[in-house]
């Protein structure tokens, strides 16, 4: 390949796109497992639970996050049902938390994991039962801990020595007990992007099992009268497809669990294995169903408990992405297009939409791949390799790096990107003073705003001049 004058990265890919991307026979057709349950195309027009994409765009504007509420609820329920009554499922609110989603998970019988005072405030606004809330965070402030104790959260997952000391002082001051778990790192390199891998040694979360600091933390907690130790907590990372990482982590964590019982005489009633279950963003992803995850994880825990002659602690898990992610697509309007020549006579079509890294920063942050479809009309035009980009002042402002779209996609068309329910609105930002997009929930042919769009007044509200 001739080297590109702007550097090697610019010269790759050609018109074939990455190896995993197949040219579709019909670019109008949806790949069903990438979309929420109630999404389909009717005469080329995308519809969700009886509402059409053009109607939604007209009523609420674009970019727009569109949640299939029944899909979200069904995924929440299916984790609870698959894992059964002996396992507590905490929805990881960081994936996408607002008052409506907090209520949905509460109604579907799940618990809630929050990791900041802000997320806790949303849960409280939603009236979420505080005993079913777990508080995470590697640097919880005294104010956050105080609030959690005052409202009576069901568990605080302790992440540092300083936090143990803060909780010791607060429980003494307030005259309450704190139910705590200890976040441990099992030394597992999860197969995922480095930035979302959390259980190897060289990162910020938790107490290492390997260097003895986890055992030391438990010893310290056991010496504080106000702290009630529930168990150990392990979260190995996010967007994970293979269970080997969970298996290794569960084994190491249960070994520590047994060691604590034997050496310190402390029996812990619970064990949390975190979240991280991957979803399909493109045809290259093949996620496991909750039923398979439940079977695998409980088998691993049962085997290890048997081997160590331990009573099985009550298990809990914390899925976020796998519940929220697939329920939602983002609807954009196309503004401009252009084709660029690539090496070897190939070309790529750039399609600019009215959002970008402010509503989905995952491609820029983790090189995440997405797919998309033309949502407002059918087209017979041959598919061309396209790159969907945003309106921000960065060339890394990419929404969908590689996708085959009909060659006649033009200004005014709507594009829909599936799998944007997790870590998109929750990571949304105001770069370039772009207002954050609205979230609309659709159910049984009815749509409603659950998070309204920001406007110019919102953008200027904090700017005191
Ligand atoms: N539990 C703990 C302690 C976590 O830190 C996380 C995610 C979860 C559960 C939920 O993981 P999930 O099931 O959603 O994979 N912004 C990144 C993901 C960061 C995940 C942070 N922690 C992304 O967009 O890929």
Cβ contacts of residue 191 below 8 Å, gap of 6+? 240, 241, 242, 245
CB neighbour list of residue 212: distance below 8 Å, 6 or more residues apart: none
Q: What is the pLDDT of residues 436-445, one digit of tens each?
A: 999 999 999 9
pLDDT in tens, 398-426: 999 999 999 999 999 999 999 999 999 99
pLDDT band per the 50, 70, 90 thresholds, residue 3: very low
Q: What is the mean pLDDT of residues 82-103?
A: 98
The alpha-helical segments, DSSP class H, found in 24-116 are: 53-60, 69-83, 99-107
Contact 322, 79 (CB under 8 A): yes
Q: Give the pLDDT band of residue 7 (cuts 50, 70, 90).
A: very low
CB of 200 closer than 8 Å to CB of 209: no
Name the residue of 191, 234, 320, 323 whose CB sits within 8 Å of the most ligand 1 atoms, as the mutation to test its pocket. Answer: 320
The 8-class DSSP code of residue 125 comes to H
Residue 123 has pLDDT above 60, yes or no: yes
**pLDDT attached to residue 51:** 98
Among candidate residues 98, 372, 393, 424, the one labeled active-site is: 393
State residue 188's pLDDT score.
81
Residue nearest to atom 8 of ligand 1 (CA): 275
d(CA 270, CA 229): 9
Ligand 1 nearest-atom number relative to CA 325: 14
276: Cβ below 6 Å to ligand 1? yes
Q: Three-state SS for 410?
A: coil
CB atoms within 10 A of CB 265: 8
| 129/154 Cα distance (integer angstroms) | 9
Choose one of 207, 238, 297, 363 to mutate for the ligand 1 pocket test, by most ligand atoms within 8 angstroms of C-beta.
238
Helix-then-strand count for the chain, H and E: 12, 21
Cβ–ligand 1 distance for 275 under 6 Å, the answer yes
Q: Is the CB of 92 under 6 A from ligand 1?
A: yes
Give distance in angstroms: CA of 152 to centre of ligand 1: 24
Segment 322-339, tens digit of pLDDT: 999 999 999 999 999 999
115 catalytically annotated: no
Mean local confidence (pLDDT), 88-108: 98
- Candidate of 83, 90, 92, 205 to mutate for ligand 1, largest count of ligand atoms within 8 Å of Cβ: 92
pLDDT in tens, 197-232: 666 777 889 999 999 999 999 999 999 999 999 999
Measured between alpha carbons, how far is 355 from 352 in angstroms, rounded to an integer? 9
Q: Measure the CA–CA gap between 76 and 79, rounded to whole angstroms.
A: 6
Q: Are 259 and 233 in contact (CB under 8 A)?
A: no
Residues 356-373, mean pLDDT to the nearest whole number: 97
What's this model's pTM, rounded to 2 decimal places?
Answer: 0.95
Nearest CA to ligand 1 atom 6: 275
Q: Please report the domains of the chain, with CATH numbers, ordered by start residue.
A: 19-68+326-461 (2.40.37.10), 69-323 (3.20.20.10)
Confidence class for position 193, pLDDT limits 50, 70, 90 = low
Q: Ligand 1: which atom is nearest the Cα of residue 157?
A: 3
Q: Is the CB of 425 under 6 A from ligand 1?
A: no
Q: Residue 94 Cα, ligand 1 centroid: separation in angstroms? A: 7
Question: What is the C-alpha to C-alpha distance for residues 121 and 55, in angstroms, rounded to an integer?
Answer: 33
Where does 183-230 have alpha helices with state H?
213-222
pLDDT at 328: 99
Answer yes or no: is the C-beta of 362 below 6 A from any ligand 1 atom. Answer: yes
Residue-wise pLDDT tens digits, 271-328: 999 999 999 999 999 999 999 999 999 999 999 999 989 999 999 999 999 999 999 9
């Amino acid at each position: 390949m001739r080297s590109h004058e702007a550097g090697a990265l610019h010269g790759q890919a050609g018109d074939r796109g990455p190896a995993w991307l197949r040219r579709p026979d019909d670019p109008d057709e949806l790949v069903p497992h990438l979309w929420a349950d109630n999404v389909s195309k009717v005469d080329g027009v995308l519809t969700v639970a009886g509402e059409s994409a053009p109607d939604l765009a007209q009523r609420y504007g674009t970019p727009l996050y569109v949640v299939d509420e029944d899909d979200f609820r069904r995924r929440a329920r299916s984790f609870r049902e698959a894992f059964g009554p002996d396992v507590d499922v905490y929805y990881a609110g960081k994936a996408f938390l607002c008052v409506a989603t907090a209520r949905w998970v509460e109604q579907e019988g799940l618990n809630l994991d929050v990791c900041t005072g802000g997320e806790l405030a949303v849960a409280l606004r939603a009236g979420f039962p505080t005993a079913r809330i777990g508080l995470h965070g590697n640097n919880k402030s005294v104010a956050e801990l105080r609030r959690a104790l005052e409202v009576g959260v069901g568990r605080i997952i302790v992440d540092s020595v300083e936090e143990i000391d803060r909780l010791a002082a607060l429980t003494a001051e307030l005259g309450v007990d704190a139910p705590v778990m200890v976040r441990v790192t099992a030394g597992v390199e999860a197969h995922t992007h480095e930035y979302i891998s959390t259980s190897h040694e060289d990162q910020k979360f938790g107490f290492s099992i390997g260097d003895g600091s986890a055992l030391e933390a438990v010893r310290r907690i056991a010496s504080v009268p106000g702290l009630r130790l529930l168990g150990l907590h392990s979260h190995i990372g996010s967007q994970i497809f293979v269970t080997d990482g969970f298996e290794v982590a569960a084994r190491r964590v249960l070994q520590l669990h047994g060691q604590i019982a034997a050496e310190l005489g402390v029996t812990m009633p619970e064990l949390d294995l975190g979240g991280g279950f991957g979803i399909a963003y493109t045809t290259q992803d093949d996620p496991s169903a909750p039923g398979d995850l439940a079977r695998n994880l409980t088998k691993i825990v049962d085997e290890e408990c048997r081997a160590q002659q331990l009573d099985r602690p009550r298990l809990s898990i914390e899925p976020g992405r796998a519940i929220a992610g697939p329920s939602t697509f983002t609807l954009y309007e196309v503004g401009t297009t252009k084709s660029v020549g690539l090496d070897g006579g190939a070309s790529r079509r750039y399609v600019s939409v009215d959002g970008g890294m402010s509503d989905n920063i995952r491609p820029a942050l983790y090189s995440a791949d997405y797919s998309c479809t033309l949502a407002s009309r059918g087209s017979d035009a041959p598919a061309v390799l396209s790159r969907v980009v945003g309106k921000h002042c960065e060339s890394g402002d990419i929404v969908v790096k590689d996708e085959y779209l009909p060659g006649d996609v033009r200004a005014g068309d709507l594009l829909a990107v599936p799998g944007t329910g997790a870590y998109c609105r929750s990571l949304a930002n105001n770069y370039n003073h772009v207002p954050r997009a609205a979230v609309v929930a659709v159910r049984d042919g009815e749509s409603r705003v659950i998070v309204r769009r920001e406007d110019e007044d919102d953008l200027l509200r904090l700017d005191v001049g």
